[in-house]
Amino acid sequence: MLVTVLGAGAGGGLPQWNCGCRNCRDARDGRLARMSQSSVAVSTDGRDWVVLNASPDIRDQIGGCPALYPQGLRGSPIRAVVLTNADVDHVAGLLTLREKTGFALFATAGVLAVLRDNPVFGVLDPALVGRHAITLDTAFVPAAGLTVTPFAVPGKVALYLEDGAGVDTEAMGEQTVGLCIATDRARLYYVPGCATVPDWLVARLADGDLLLFDGTVWDDAEMVATGTGTKTGARMGHVAMQGPAGSLARLAPLTGCRKVFVHLNNTNPALQPDGPERRQVAAAGWTIGQDGMEFRL
């Protein structure tokens, strides 16, 4: 299996357009690598590709990835797009994929309903872009040789669907899924959004060769502490890296797979290559994802 991280950033990317935090300034000054928004491409043969989440940056992501160039006058090696939720950073790129080329779109019925209720997504010609409802814990095949199984992980509805008070940030259902992507030789788990790491999730991820996991925030309160926002990671539906309930500690039992953080928020101090947070991430056996990172499983 070939895996390319098209975008390692969370919503907003790095630098974020309106942010002057240390990471964003460093990215503008060339001291940190820029990150585009959250997306991954997978393939078994390098010819047919499946894109996991369509980020607002997909036009540049395709432009920077020769494997995704058209092979003829019109067309694309992208055979399918699979969505893990309806967040802006995961669906807005669908609007870019509207130029009369066919592909298959896979998402839960809940996420497809969000697209259906937003008429702008009608720019995807239904004669060319079939929308396929996927079922939790039921495998489907978006491209020959790739079997994908979606499963619910703790999470919430997209920000623009929150109805004010009482949003369940750890809901289990169709709004936030992880993906198990398997060939006959290898297994990738892709979980770019996850609010908590329960024991069952640790067990479920144990047979993977590669884990691409939610690395939004280092500390639950980092946006508050840095003055860049008022929300905690938990309120946004993202588990922190650090702390006893954080991903580093909770996923420590996974020793047989490569562990890489994706969906990294611009405020995350672990982006700093020489900082103490990065040392802890590395000591725990994790890698900080970057745009263009490639894996061969």
Nearer Cβ to ligand MLT, position 84 or 242?
A: 84
Q: Where on the chain is the footprint of ligand MLT (CB under 6 A)?
A: 10-11, 87-89, 159, 193, 236-237
Position 233 contacts Mn ion (CB under 5 A): no
Nearest residue to 209 via CA among 182, 232, 229, 191: 182
Least distance (Å) from ligand MLT to the CB of residue 88?
5
Nearer Cβ to ligand MLT, position 27 or 236?
A: 236
Nearer Cβ to ligand MLT, position 183 or 232?
A: 232
Least distance (Å) from ligand MLT to the CB of residue 44?
29
Per-residue DSSP letters for 46-101?
Answer: SSSEEEES--TTHHHHHHT-GGGS-SSSS--SEEEEE-S---HHHHGGGGGG-SS-
Nearer Cβ to ligand MLT, position 15 or 77?
A: 15
Nearer Cβ to ligand MLT, position 79 or 90?
A: 90
Nearer Cβ to ligand MLT, position 44 or 220?
A: 220
Given candidates 7, 11, 56, 237, which one binds Mn ion under the rule CB under 5 A?
11
Distance from C-alpha of 62 to C-alpha of 6, rounded to nearest angstrom:
8
Are the CB atoms for 87 and 116 separated by under 8 Å? no
Least distance (Å) from Mn ion to the CB of residue 93?
12
Least distance (Å) from ligand MLT to the CB of residue 123?
21
Position 87 contacts Mn ion (CB under 5 A): yes
> Considering Cα of 281, then 282, then 284, then 286, what sign does the dihedral take?
positive
Distance from C-alpha of 68 to C-alpha of 287, rounded to nearest angstrom:
25
Given candidates 49, 53, 61, 89, which one binds Mn ion under the rule CB under 5 A?
89
Distance from C-alpha of 219 to C-alpha of 245, rounded to nearest angstrom:
11
The kind and range of the H/E element at 179 are strand 177-182
Least distance (Å) from ligand MLT to the CB of residue 11?
3
Position 57 contacts Mn ion (CB under 5 A): no
Distance from C-alpha of 70 to C-alpha of 34, rounded to nearest angstrom:
25
What does 88 bind: Zn ion, ligand MLT, Mn ion, none (CB cut-off 5 to 8 Å by kind)? ligand MLT
Q: How far is CA 105 from CA 80, 133, 134, 261, 281, in A?
A: 6, 9, 10, 25, 34
First CA to last CA across the chain, in angstroms?
5
What does 262 bind: ligand MLT, Mn ion, Zn ion, none (CB cut-off 5 to 8 Å by kind)? none
Ordered strands of the 177-182 beta sheet:
140-143, 146-152, 177-182, 187-191, 210-214, 258-262, 286-288
Nearer Cβ to ligand MLT, position 90 or 187?
A: 90
Least distance (Å) from ligand MLT to the CB of residue 194?
10
Binding residues for Mn ion, per CB under 5 A? Answer: 10-11, 87, 89
